[in-house]
Amino acid sequence: IFFGVKDIIDVAGAPVTAGSHTTGDRIAATDATAVARLRAAGAIPVLITATTEFACGAPHNARYGAVTNPWDRSRWTGGSSTGSAGALAARLVPLALGTDTGGSIRVPSALCNLTGIKPTYGLVPRTGVASLSWTLDHIGPMARSAADLRIVLDVLAGPDGLDPAAAPAPVAREVQAALAAVGPAEVPSLTGVRIGIPTVWFTDLCDAAVLGAWESVVGTFRDLGADIVAVDIPDAQRIHDDVTIVMTSELASNQEGALAKFADYDIGTQVRIARGLVPSAVDYLRSVRRRTLAQRAAVEAFDAAGIDVLVTPGIGATAARLSDVTVEIDGVRHPMQPIVGRNTSLVDYLGFPAVMAPAGFVDGLPAGVQLVGRPWADDTCLRLAHVLQTVTDVHTQRADE
């Protein structure tokens, strides 16, 4: 199986530049753990795929340019796993690796009619991956179906003895056992499954047609016998603010050795590094410290409702126009940046697993639906996405048809 590798993930002997002028002509010396594991399973890395600079820069990458969306070449794929999404949607490869710190697997998956998973934090080691924000960074696979992702995540999961945040081996083995179990029946039933849907935040800044695609997916789950209940993640606005502080502060720390080359970064990276130099140590530590409380509150909300997954709209709009980097919500143009990560970044902060799956089309452009689970319930999210894809065919639609 051929696969693509995002340009912040090392492939031995290949140029891996993080999409930046600051990295020069760097050649990776060894494979990242994720690449090595796929190779060991027989897969073949054939493409280094574009990224926004250090997975956080602007759509118009200063070193390589913008990656256009195969569904509409005047629009962006979404980032930061731009090239992985573009290659998958253009049918160049059936599998690609991406990373997700604020939504960088799930955003382009939603905007390119793909399926991608941000695993539980620590399930897949990040050894050999350039860090954007070490307490938020995740690595995971992108493909065109949840069935494919279940196979691939089983190969990728488990500690490597090098990433200090990696999951304990017994926990990883339990996840792998679930992933390796038999998939959904040909005519699945969701009787006894409880699905949560949000009433605020995730639905607040969404185009009506995107909401309609999400509601259609929820309706499909209901028709299959699932119980649908209202559930909200507590203090979503505060979590959103904390994500910004943590991500930009850790980015600035990661890049401090190259700040003499500040002018060589693209404008998106410059803005985020500059923002990361503003918070005090107390601000940063407060935002990190609150994570455990937020995780506990979210799990308690899941438990109180008795849900298996939370199903939310994916991204509040379809793909951004490259001409002005805006998205449209109910006929009104909005700057892209505040919209695209709104429904995804909270889950990076919590560290919970989340799958983005195709939900439908709005004026010919893809829209996605996000399935969020408890920690280590990666297979639950993928299994329900697999059920959805067993009874619908949205994920099979091609950009060239």
- The alpha-helical segments, DSSP class H, found in 13-145 are 33-40, 82-89, 106-111
Is 133 among the catalytic positions?
A: no
CA distance linking residue 207 with residue 209, whole number of Å: 5
- Please give the single-letter amino acid code of residue 10: D
DSSP per-residue letters across 322-350: TTTTEEEETTEEEESHHHHTTTTHHHHHH
104 catalytically annotated: yes
Catalytic residue among 20, 81, 84, 104: 104
User: Is 118 among the catalytic positions?
Assistant: no
Residue carrying structure tokens 């209940």: 229
Judge whether 320 and 75 are in contact, CB under 8 Å.
yes
The secondary structure of 136-183 as a DSSP string is: T-EEEEEES-HHHHHHHHHHH-S--SS-TTPPPHHHHHHHHHHHHS--
Catalytic residue among 20, 80, 109, 287: 80
Distance, CA of 341 to CA of 76 (rounded, Å) = 14
Using the structure block, give the residue that is written with the tokens 């913008």.
66
CA-angle at 91, arms to 88 and 92, nearest 5°: 85
Tokens for 17, please give them: 């530049």
Q: Residue 340: name the closest of 70, 100, 64 by CA.
A: 100
The torsion angle over the Cα atoms of residues 137, 143, 145 and 148, rounded to 10 degrees, is -90
Q: Are 370 and 314 in contact (CB under 8 A)?
A: yes
Residues classed as catalytic: 6, 80, 104
